Amino acid sequence: MVTGGGVAYGVSRLCIQVRLDLKCRLRHLHHPRGRPGWCRKCGSESRPDPETPICPGLLDITNDAGNLWFLRFLTSTDSVKKLARLRLATLLKIPGVGKKYANSIRHWQEKAIYSPEVDWVGDMIQEDALRVLELHDKIKTLEKRCEDIGRHSRTAALISSIPGYGPVCSATLAGEIGTIDRFRSEASLALYLGMATLDNSSGKHKSSKNPRHVNARAKAAMMIAIDRHRKVVPESQKYYVKKRSEGKAHNQAIRALGRHLSRVIYKMLKEDRPYQMR
């Protein structure tokens, strides 16, 4: 159980990192201080000019380097330079590129220019794009595996009944929690999942601190699932907005909501019943 959810979660994180590297190569190829060197984000050699991307306007077509149609577009030729010469009929044959995106690409092609670094960075861009596509397919396969495993795990099935908790996060949490009898109370489960803090007050000074004994993998899965959960459950979204209005940062508001959801998960597993909307 841990293997299925853990591997899927690990591949998801790797996919996110490669996507960040790809975006970095497209838009942020410069040394932090504007001097020639190696970019700390993606490891690419940089240029003195930190404002000029290698393909001006290319990433602006979508603003998201992780879009599958955009990745397929980047890898549709053996050279990034050839992207500016693709015909409309060829663009429409790329999966996911309809008339709308094809017109956006054509608009970019009309004024496409490249910096000198494209001769060597272009290969890195296409390698990253291919890697993201490969990881995306692997994630889909692992998600299917997690769904199959979840059908045989009562814990995963119960957790997945919570809106926003997908198969990967549910499988990961089920594997890391194990049996709910390990936890004396919902408070101990919340600490284990990284959704609660410890009191660190002294005298008149009021403060808290993060506990050391937190399951990092379970905490990461909870953070992802809670963020998805609050987007599909209006009451949870209202609570999140309330915490943000109180000055809480995004992660702090997510953990505050996660504290309540930890209580819900504990009761669900103890009573062996699925999530119910009220």
Residue with tokens 């009451």: 235
* Position 181, amino acid: D
**What residues pair up with 47 in beta bridges, in sequence order?**
30
Instruction: Give me the count of residues in the chain.
Output: 278
pLDDT at site 256? 92
Ordered per-residue pLDDT tens for the chain, 278 residues:
444 555 555 555 555 555 555 555 555 433 333 333 444 444 444 443 434 567 777 778 887 777 888 889 989 998 888 888 889 999 999 998 988 889 989 998 888 888 777 777 778 888 888 888 888 888 778 777 777 766 778 888 899 999 999 888 888 888 888 889 999 999 999 999 998 875 555 556 555 556 667 888 889 889 999 999 999 999 999 999 999 999 989 998 999 999 999 999 999 999 999 988 77
**In the chain, what are the domain boundaries?**
2-143, 153-271
User: What span, in angstroms and rounded, lies between the C-alpha atoms of 85 and 142?
Assistant: 37
Q: At a CB cut-off of 8 Å and minimum separation 6, what does 51 contact?
A: 30
What DSSP designation does 74 have?
H
Query: Of 217, 219, 227, whose CA–CA distance to 164 is shortest?
Result: 227
Tokens of 228: 């998805």
pLDDT at site 143? 74
pTM metric for this prediction = 0.59
Tokens of 264: 């819900």
* Position 68, amino acid: L
Structural contact between residues 33 and 140, judged by C-beta atoms closer than 8 angstroms:
no
pLDDT at site 36? 39
Structural contact between residues 133 and 72, judged by C-beta atoms closer than 8 angstroms:
yes
How far, in whole angstroms, is CA 229 from its chain's centroid? 14
How far, in whole angstroms, is CA 163 from its chain's centroid? 18
User: What span, in angstroms and rounded, lies between the C-alpha atoms of 42 and 196?
Assistant: 34
pLDDT at site 113? 82
User: What span, in angstroms and rounded, lies between the C-alpha atoms of 1 and 145?
Assistant: 10
> For residue 6, how many other CB atoms are within 10 A of its CB?
18
How far, in whole angstroms, is CA 213 from its chain's centroid? 24
**Three-class SS state of 253:** helix
User: What span, in angstroms and rounded, lies between the C-alpha atoms of 145 and 161?
Assistant: 18
Greatest pairwise CA separation for the chain in angstroms: 73
